[in-house]
Chains A and B, each alone.
Chain A
Amino acid sequence: MAPQQSRTDIASVDVLPQVRLVGVTKRFGAVVANNAISLSLMPGRIKALLGENGAGKSTLMAMLAGRFKPDEGHIEVAGRRADFTSPREAIDAGIGMVYQHFMLVENMTVAENVLLGQEGGFLLDPAAMRATVSALAGRFGLPIDPAARVGDLSMGERQRVEILKLLHRQSRVLIFDEPTAVLTPPEAEALFSALRTMSAQGKAIVFISHKLEEVLAVADEIAILRRGRIEGEFLATEVDSPAELARRMVGRDVVLDIARAPVPLGRAVLDVRGLSGGGLKDVSLNLRQGEILAVVGVAGNGQQQLVEVVCGLSRPETGEVELLGHGWDAFSKHHDWDGALAWVPEDRAGLATCRSLDLTDNLLLTTRQGFSRGQWLQRARAREAARRIVRENNVQPGRIGLPAWQLSGGNLQKFVLGRELLRKPRLLVAEQPTQGLDISATEAVWQQLLAARADMGVLLVTGDLAEALALADRVAVMFRGRVMGQFPVTDAAQVERIGALMAGLSEDAA
Chain B
Amino acid sequence: MSPELIVALLAAAVQAAAPILFATLGEILSEKAGVLNLGVEGVMAIAAFAAFITCHVTGSATLGLLAGGLAGALLCGLHSLVCQVFLGNQVVSGLALTIFGVGLSNYLGTPYVGIGTEGFRQFAVPLLGQIPVLGAVFFRQDAMVYLGYFAPVAVWFLLSRTSLGLGLRATGEMPAAAAAAGLNPQRLRAFGVMAGGFLCGLGGAYLSLAHTHLWTTGLSGGRGWVAVALVIFAFWRPGRAVLGALLFGGVMAFQLRLQAAGTNVPSSLLLMLPYALTVLALVFSATRARSSARKAAAAPAALGVNIEPEG
Contact = CB atoms under 8 A, between A and B. Distances in A.
Interface of A: 28, 65, 67-68, 86-88, 91-92, 97, 99, 103-108, 112-113, 115-119, 121-124, 126, 149, 151-152, 165
Given A123-B161, A149-B295, A87 B174 contact: no
B58 interface: no
B108 interface: no
B38 interface: no
Nearest to B163: A119
Lowest 10 CB-CB distances: which A-B pairs, in order? A117-B181, A88-B182, A119-B163, A103-B180, A103-B177, A116-B181, A105-B173, A91-B182, A117-B182, A105-B174
Interface string B170-194: 1001101111111110000000000
Nearest to B161: A124
A151 B173 CA distance: 12
Contacts of A87: 179-182
Contacts of B174: 103-106
A149 B294 CA distance: 13
A105 B295 contact: no
B201 interface: no
Contacts of A88: 182-183
Interface of B: 160-167, 169-170, 173-174, 176-184, 295, 298, 300-301, 310-311
- Main SS class of interface, A: loop
B169 A105 contact: yes
Contacts of B166: 108, 112, 115-116, 119, 124
Given A103-B174, A107-B298, A117 B161 contact: no
Contacts of A97: 180
Nearest to A125: B161
B162 A104 contact: no
B109 to A, nearest CB: 40
Contacts of B183: 88, 116-117
Contacts of A119: 163, 166
B115 to A, nearest CB: 44
A369 B164 CA distance: 54
A122 B157 CA distance: 11
A66 to B, nearest CB: 9
A151 B300 CA distance: 13
A97 B166 CA distance: 21
Contact of A107 (B163, B182, B300, B310): B300
B167 to A, nearest CB: 7
Contacts of A152: 295
Nearest to B177: A103
A489 B93 CA distance: 59
Given A68-B310, A117-B167, A106 B173 contact: yes
Given A103-B174, A149-B295, A124 B311 contact: no
Given A91-B181, A116-B183, 17 more contacts: A28-B311, A67-B179, A86-B184, A87-B182, A97-B180, A103-B180, A105-B174, A106-B301, A113-B177, A116-B167, A116-B181, A117-B181, A117-B182, A121-B163, A124-B163, A151-B295, A165-B181
